[in-house]
Each structure stands twice: as C-alpha cells, then as structure tokens.
Amino acid sequence: MVILPIISLIIIIMVLFTPIVNSTLIALGFIFISVVSSIISIKYASTAKGVNNKLAKVTINLCSVIIIMSMFALAFIIVLNVLTCLT
C-alpha cells in the first residue's frame, strides 16, 4: 500500500531536480501518473478493512505530499518553459 506512493514521490523529485526538462510531455505524464496513483492509494487506504490504521494514515499523508509536490513540479515546468521562450 505504501510502495506505489513512494515510487510516485521519487518520480516527482526526479522531475523537480532535473535542471532542464527535455520533454515537457514526458514530465507531465510522470506527474499525471503520480497523481492518479496517489488518488488510487488514498481510495484504497481509506476503504481497506483489516489494514493497520497507522499505515493507512501514513499512506494518506504521503499521497497528500505527492499531490502538493506535483503541483509545484507543474508550476516549475510552466515557469521553465516561459523562461526558455523569453530567451
């Protein structure tokens, strides 16, 4: 239950710390995959029965962080594209 959000977090960190995103479409695809997997994990964690309550809370918090980081990554990509268009 926690593995998918951790993979998504690694993808978002890779997108954020890449100095020049060569392909915006690939980066947007990674962000979309991360957000969708986080939403699926939140839905699974909130409806799963017999799962440790603490683990479900950690998963939901991690997915919330991923969604917020993906918004920052999206803003970073937009700013980077605007700056490259201006120069």
Residue boundaries of the structural domains of the chain: 3-86
pTM listed for this prediction = 0.66
Residue 87: pLDDT above 60? Answer: yes
Please count the helices (runs of H) and the strands (runs of E) in the chain.
3, 0
Mean pLDDT calculated for residue range 12-29: 68
**Which pLDDT score, from 0 to 100, does residue 75 have?**
82
Residue 86: pLDDT above 80? Answer: yes
Q: How far apart are CA 29 and CA 56, in angstroms?
A: 26
Q: How far apart are CA 2 and CA 58, in angstroms?
A: 8
**Which pLDDT score, from 0 to 100, does residue 2 have?**
64
Token pair for 50? 């017999």
Confidence of residue 22 (pLDDT cuts 50, 70, 90): low
Q: How far apart are CA 67 and CA 84, in angstroms?
A: 26
Instruction: Tell me the three state secondary structure of residue 22.
Output: coil
